[in-house]
Structure 1
Amino acid sequence: MAVLMSELQPDDPPRTPTVSLRRSSSLLAAPTALRHPAHSAARTAFAECYERIMPRLVVFVMRHGADSHQAAEAAQAAFALAWERWESIEHPHAWLRKVAFRQLLKLREQREHPAEELPDPPGGLCPAQAVELGAQEALILRVLRSLPMRQRQAFAWTFDGFSPQETAVHLGMTPEAVRQNLARARRSLKQAWETMKEQDT
């Protein structure tokens, strides 16, 4: 349990999941119909950000209850929007997480009211297909799916290195509400971990 709970401490640096990631040509090739960063340095910064953040962004969305395909789709959509306005985004780490979550909600709404024919997903390797989840991470995702959304959000932002004060600003909550929801999520995770250990013995 010590290993699991040490991962839940807000002061710990965020851990990057093991991911084999191939650039999505549909995103980084920048379709001509979209605006794109005017300077080569900005385009390089975007590509580096994509390679570094994309795997963690997919898992961040999964911690809100999404399956791997929904998470990858929401994360890709967030980066596509970021590409169009990259030079105006001041805090990309927080911006991408907020937009990816909104894209997840939009995807869920579309699933509830499906079109007659859904378009095929874009080409390239889905980043989530290569995410290798350990037993602890799989347990965390399973437990989080059963929790209220506010608890999922508090945990996901904290796990990615945001303080309660920063999380409160991005979620429109008070820092105390963030701490309370985080504490409840941790209690649920601890109980689930203890139950799993008892079943394994």
Structure 2
Amino acid sequence: MLIYLGATPQVADEAIQEAFLELGRKWDTVRTPAPWVSKATKTHFLKICQKIRKAQRRERGLAEEDSLQVPDTSAEVALSAWEDEEWVTQLLQHLSPAAKATVALILEDYSTAEIAAHLGLTENAVRQRLHSARNQLKQLLGPDCTIKDRTGPARTRGEVE
């Protein structure tokens, strides 16, 4: 995931390591470790990007800042992805706890069957929760904020749309 955001393997490893160290420190308060680690990893990646950019600016000095340079957009792409994730997180706060837990697992790429096993539900109950969550989000977003031409992997029969 971090490589997709523009991280080098070394930076990705560092961000993951920092996220797991933080998870160890906060283990007693983290309820869903997988989504928490995913978010923490992205946050640590952005912090590392900021440190790298500051160090690069210091190395260049003031003379180079006056010259025309092509901006590095990898941090901007990462920031945009982070902003999108934060927006989704804020939207999910409006869902019921049951719907929020189910949607969080879907966002972490768990299958309907895996979610059912994890939450102790039937697959039909998981699909019903997701249907209810989508309806709640549609009402929250209103008619002007819909995704018309959805692209993505094709789902097999029985999987959640």
> What TM-score results when the alignment is normalised by the length of structure 2?
0.44
Larger Rg: 1 or 2?
2
> What TM-score results when the alignment is normalised by the length of structure 1?
0.37
